Amino acid sequence: PLIFGHRGSPSLVTENTFCSFEKAIEQKVDGIELDVRLTKDRKIIIFHDSNLDRLAGINKKIQNLTYKQIRAIRLEQGQTIPLLDDLVQLFNKIKAINIEIKSDGIFLGHGIIKPLIEFLDRYNIDDKCIISSFNPLILLKIKLRRPKTIIGYLYNRNMLFHPWNNLVWICRIRPENLHIHHSLLGSWIVRWARKKKMRINSYTINDKNIFKKAKIDG
């Protein structure tokens, strides 16, 4: 399986920062996984949370700040929040990139679709890039507007009747990859996805015993 640096190498360098991704590449990962959000002035930045509190100790939301304001913020270890464009120089050093779109509700966060499609068109990385999200509506819109985009459907356990709800969305979106927590790798939906020729990428596996037992693609 492909080994991804989830948010870079966060146990050594602050997650989702340029230096963290550099460290993951030094550790010989096959690919990197990163989270993207949109700033107030429609810049795509790499950051997991909707709020700066956990990593910067600032109680402000990303969506209410411009990139100029965000650029001045220092995270743990003095790291800064990068733009998605900042990572392009690293892409030729890895086999795969998993860009996860963060969204705070099924009808929220759709503003990132247009600038993200423009990014994909500009850099021509379709042979190694997966676009993933827990928001199925965002994934559907991307697939409809840009059919050649490789999609990773993030399985959502927080839905009511989640196996069937996820199945309906998967059938509608037709993603190439199912991204699912390792605790659910024994579920019927994984077996079904394999029959449909989907790749199975699992998170977050930090235990060697779980890794050895998992029959996965990434």
Using alpha carbons, list the distances in angstroms from residue 46 to 22, 167, 187: 14, 29, 32
pLDDT digits (tens, 9 = 90+) for 14-31: 999 999 999 999 999 999
48 classed as catalytic:
yes
* The amino acid at 16: N
Q: What is the residue-averaged pLDDT of the chain?
A: 97
* The amino acid at 212: K
pLDDT digits (tens, 9 = 90+) for 84-114: 999 999 999 999 999 999 999 999 999 999 9
pLDDT digits (tens, 9 = 90+) for 69-83: 999 999 999 999 999
* Predicted local confidence at residue 100, as pLDDT: 98
Q: How far apart are CA 87 and CA 128, in angstroms?
A: 14
Angle at CA 47, nearest 5°, toward 170 and 22?
A: 100
Using alpha carbons, list the distances in angstroms from residue 36 to 81, 125, 150, 168: 11, 16, 16, 25
pLDDT digits (tens, 9 = 90+) for 170-212: 999 999 999 999 999 999 999 999 999 999 999 999 999 999 9
Q: Is 122 exposed, middle or buried (0-12, 13-18, 19+ CB in 10 A)?
A: exposed
Q: How far apart are CA 2 and CA 152, in angstroms?
A: 14
* Predicted local confidence at residue 159, as pLDDT: 84
Annotated catalytic residue: which of 48, 110, 162, 182? 48
Whether pLDDT at 44 is above 90: yes
* The amino acid at 38: L
pLDDT digits (tens, 9 = 90+) for 129-169: 999 999 999 999 999 999 999 999 999 998 889 999 999 99
181 classed as catalytic:
no
* 8 A C-beta contact, residue 6 and residue 204: yes
Q: Which residue has the tokens 């699992």?
A: 202
Q: Say if pTM beats, i.e. exceeds, 0.95.
A: yes
Q: How far apart are CA 197 and CA 41, in angstroms?
A: 40
